[in-house]
């Protein structure tokens, strides 16, 4: 990213007025990952989850000339081995026109600063095995790819059926 552009990109905490823009970028991410069929979140869901009575997640946004160009959505975790809270980066997204210019790295570093300020025991996230650009970025900033770990997921139907199994 040119130094001039770098200075004009602002990383900040998301506010309720950002939800519409964040959700539009989430839709772009879903398309990029070929997962549009799984995107069911609404603006109301995001308002409640990020800014409701009991927020369950937080977001940073990258802004350029008044427009949102990226986001990082994260939440607290807990490590039983470390005995401390951590931060899980759920999504990192930068609009295509701003990729490979340092915006993603700035979002990662801004969230890393939050992890440091909160004395987080860990700062973690996952990456799709085919997303080599993201893998390269994460390795560049010092992230360790844990090859031996696998994500286990249970959707709403699985949760509902769990007692029956």
Cα 92 to Cα 126: distance, rounded to the nearest angstrom:
10
- At 140, which helix (H) or strand (E)? helix 132-140
- State the Cα–Cα distance between residues 161 and 9, nearest whole angstrom: 46
SS3 string, 98-144, reads HCCCCHHHHHHHHHHHHHHHCCCCCEEECCCCCCHHHHHHHHHCCCC
138 a catalytic residue: yes
Identified catalytic residue from 46, 93, 123, 138? 138
Active site positions, annotated: 138
């Amino acid at each position: 990213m040119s130094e001039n552009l770098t200075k004009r990109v602002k990383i900040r905490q998301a506010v309720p007025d950002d939800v519409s823009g964040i959700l539009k970028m989430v839709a772009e991410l879903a398309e990029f990952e070929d997962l549009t069929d799984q995107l069911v979140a609404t603006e109301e869901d995001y308002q409640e989850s990020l800014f409701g009575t009991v927020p369950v997640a937080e977001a940073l946004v990258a802004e350029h000339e008044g427009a949102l160009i990226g986001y990082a959505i994260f939440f607290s975790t807990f490590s039983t081995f470390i005995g401390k809270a951590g931060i899980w980066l759920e999504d990192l997204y930068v609009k295509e026109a701003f990729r490979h210019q340092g915006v993603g790295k700035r979002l990662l570093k801004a969230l890393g600063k939050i992890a440091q300020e909160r004395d987080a025991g860990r700062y973690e996230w996952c990456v799709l095995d085919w997303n080599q650009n993201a893998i390269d970025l994460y390795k560049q900033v010092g992230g360790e790819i844990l090859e031996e770990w696998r994500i286990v997921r249970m959707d709403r139907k699985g949760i509902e059926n769990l007692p029956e199994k």
